[in-house]
Amino acid sequence: MDLLDTLTAKGLRRELPTREEALAVLATTDDELLDVVAAAGRVRRQWFGRRVKLNYLVNLKSGLCPEDCSYCSQRLGSKAEILKYTWLKPAEAAEAAAAGLAGGAKRVCLVASGRGPTDRDIDRVADTITAIKDANEAVEVCACLGLLSDNQAERLKAAGADAYNHNLNTSEATYGGITSTHTYADRVDTVNKAHGAGLSACSGLIAGMGESDEDLVDVVFALRELDSDSVPVNFLIPFEGTPLAKEWNLTPQRCLRILAMVRFVCPDVEVRIAGGREVHLRSMQPLGLHIANSIFLGDYLTSEGQAGQADLDMIADAGFEVEGAGQVTLPRHRSDAAAGGCGTSGGGCGTSGGGGCGPCGSHESADGSHESACGSDESACGSEESATAAPDEVRSELVKVRRRGAGTELAPNA
């Protein structure tokens, strides 16, 4: 059985691949790319069918951050000409969220720059969650406010938050070279606080910061160990005026290999194509939908995305469907675990064991059919030859600073 057959079989059984197998995915050649996408696609369809979950960002407070994260346009010392404003009022945030929900989004992500929230900030966000859910009771709300202090996750949960996002971003070994004002351990602690409070943990990475293949595998394995329910995969947006403005290390092909590696390591979690997909995947974005089951609709925090209607057209043209408010995103074994059916934070059904909790070891697909975990039709892969694609050319014109939506007088993109 070759590499892709092995990885497909493991993904259908929710078994963790070896580090060597994960690295081998990143080392495949462009000639093998469609085979890699097809294999990852089988795993994606097993657990999520052809559904695409839409998420919508609301930037509650833009810029003015005291942290020095090198990748971020809102960082301390950033010269990026982004929007800067302080906290939106709850009614303003709810109005911004309504635009995304009208466009088909199922989850609203409330984001605020800064090291972490004060208790007063938690009150602000609680009022915002109430305003959003009063208008749309079924909406999922994810908060992303930085490092959490004791009891803040519990307060967000009590206020109606469904999830908390805090990305690990890169490997522990390289984290100190990206940020000096907080540590990798601080980030892990916040994800564990969110999980411990009963919030769905959302944590992901940023690719394209000059990291090695080993770094990418390290951070994805760490996310698997944290048992994140959703893993956003960001591709660095090299903003002029930030330390990483010249880091154009990604090609569309490499982005797809990274997404596939994440899917194989995290087969049954929500894998989201997050910031940078328009900049780096470009015309190959539809292929990403065969691997990931979630995207952001419209604009990002400080940069503009493609038109919301273009996102919807892309999903339909690729043969996928937008996930509805009444549909459960996660497979049954994970959604049951999140509701207290099995597993605990940090372990549960998403661990590498692959069984032990009812349907966790079955091969029932998202549409109710059954698919064999072996005998894949995909072509052979696993070549020892590393991919030779050159780094992406500098395309600064693709980085468009957000000038509409929250914090402006212009209508949002949704």
Q: What is the pLDDT of residues 61-98, one digit of tens each?
A: 988 899 999 988 888 888 888 889 999 999 999 999 99
- Which of 47-56, 136-145, 286-295, 338-347 is least confident? 338-347
pLDDT in the model for residue 360: 29
Mean pLDDT rounded to a whole number for the chain? 87
Domain segments of the chain as ranges: 3-355+386-398
What pLDDT shows up at residue 369? 42
Position with higher pLDDT, 385 vs 247:
247
* pLDDT digits 0-9 by tens, 171-192: 999 999 999 999 999 999 999 9
3-class SS string, the chain: CCHHHHHHHHHHHCCCCCHHHHHHHHCCCHHHHHHHHHHHHHHHHHHHCCEEEEEEEEEEEECCCCCCCCCCCCCCCCCCCCCCECCCCHHHHHHHHHHHHHCCCCEEEEEECCCCCCHHHHHHHHHHHHHHHHHCCCCEEEEECCCCCCCHHHHHHHHCCCEEECCCECCHHHHCCCCCCCCHHHHHHHHHHHHHCCCEEECCEEECCCCCHHHHHHHHHHHHHHCCCEEEEEECCCCCCCCCCCCCCCCHHHHHHHHHHHHHHCCCCEEEECCCHHHHHHHHHHHHHCCCCEEECCCCCCECCCCHHHHHHHHHHCCCEECCCCCCCCCHHHHHHHCCCCCCCCCHHHCCCCCCCHHHHCCECCCCCECCCCCCCCCCCCCCCCCCCCCCCCCHHHCCECCCCCCCCCCCCC
**Position 237 pLDDT exceeds 80:** yes
Q: Is residue 341 over pLDDT 70?
A: no
Q: Name the residues annotated as catalytic.
A: 65, 69, 72, 109, 142, 202, 272
Q: Whole-prediction pTM value?
A: 0.87
Residue 393 has pLDDT above 90, yes or no: no
The confidence band for 338, taking pLDDT boundaries of 50, 70 and 90, is low
Range of weakest confidence among 251-265, 317-331, 391-405: 391-405
Minimum mean pLDDT range among 87-91, 236-240, 259-263: 236-240
* CA count, 13 A, side-chain hemisphere, 168: 30
* pLDDT at site 361: 32
Of 53-67, 120-134, 168-182, 342-356, the one with minimum mean pLDDT is 342-356
Least confident of 127-131, 168-172, 334-338, 343-347: 343-347
In this structure, which topology does domain 3-355+386-398 adopt according to CATH? TIM Barrel (3.20.20)
The mean per-residue pLDDT over the stretch 199-228 comes to 97
pLDDT at 376 over 70: no
Residue 31 has pLDDT above 50, yes or no: yes
The band of 390, judged by pLDDT with boundaries at 50, 70 and 90, is low
Q: What is the pLDDT of residues 351-364, one digit of tens each?
A: 333 332 222 233 33
